[in-house]
Amino acid sequence: MTLIVEDGTGLETAESYVSTTEADTYFENLSNLTWVGTTAVKESALRKATTYLDTTYSWIGIIYTTEQALGWPRTGVYDKEGRDIKESVPTLIKQAAYELALASLSEELVQNTSSSNYVKKEKVGELEVEYRTDAPTDRMYKFTDRLLSGLYIAKQGSMSVGVYRA
């Protein structure tokens, strides 16, 4: 199935923020030789990356159309010079998609876990619980977080903080 890439108009059927051709160029420009696989494998990785982005981050601004499939494009988001970046997918979103797609080729972006995986020892009388130190945890993609800084609402305690930047 051919990958449907968001073109900045709020497509109802979009599956990815970037195309395989764009990703190939991105990694070629970085001399990254680990972005390998068939077109189908790369398309799958880009779909996973886009899904991860839209389910992990609470984007600032408002979606461009109520029918669009993805979180971008948005309105009410401005670059550092104050220009409205509606009708587009910001370069930083695309870069994050490339990086997450690459990571998804070698690992699951989100691990399925059970809370029972965390308990090493449990005692009911005189309640005692000991947690495993090797228990699986959610992966963190710090580079992606840094790329997207200012494009999503970061939760700090009970407050949400949003910075307008692209």
- Per-residue pLDDT of 47-76, as tens digits, reads 999 999 999 999 999 999 999 999 999 999
pLDDT tens sequence across 114-162: 555 555 556 567 776 665 555 455 567 788 888 888 888 875 444 444 4
- Please give the Cα distance from 64 to 86 (Å, whole number): 7
**CA dist 124 to 4, 129, 130, 159, Å?**
54, 9, 12, 37
What is this structure's pTM? 0.77
